[in-house]
Amino acid sequence: ILNVEQSPQSLHVQEGDSTNFTCSFPSSNFYALHWYRWETAKSPEALFVMTLNGDEKKKGRISATLNTKEGYSYLYIKGSQPEDSATYLCAFQPGSGAGSYQLTFGKGTKLSVIP
Partner 1 sequence: DTGVSQDPRHKITKRGQNVTFRCDPISEHNRLYWYRQTLGQGPEFLTYFQNEAQLEKSRLLSDRFSAERPKGSFSTLEIQRTEQGDSAMYLCASSLGLPNTEAFFGQGTRLTVV
Neighbour tally for 106: CB within 10 Å: 21
Residue 42 binding partner 1, by CB under 8 A: yes
Among 25, 66, 71, 108, binds partner 1 (CB under 8 A): 108
Residue 23 binding partner 1, by CB under 8 A: no
Neighbour tally for 43: CB within 10 Å: 8
b/e map of 82-96 (b: 16 or more CB within 10 Å)?
A: eebbbbbbbbbbbee
Among 28, 43, 70, 83, binds partner 1 (CB under 8 A): 43
User: From CA 32, how far away is CA 60, in angstroms rounded?
Assistant: 22
Among 64, 91, 111, 113, binds partner 1 (CB under 8 A): 91
The residues binding partner 1 (CB under 8 A) are 4, 32, 34, 36, 41-46, 49, 51, 89, 91, 98-99, 101-108
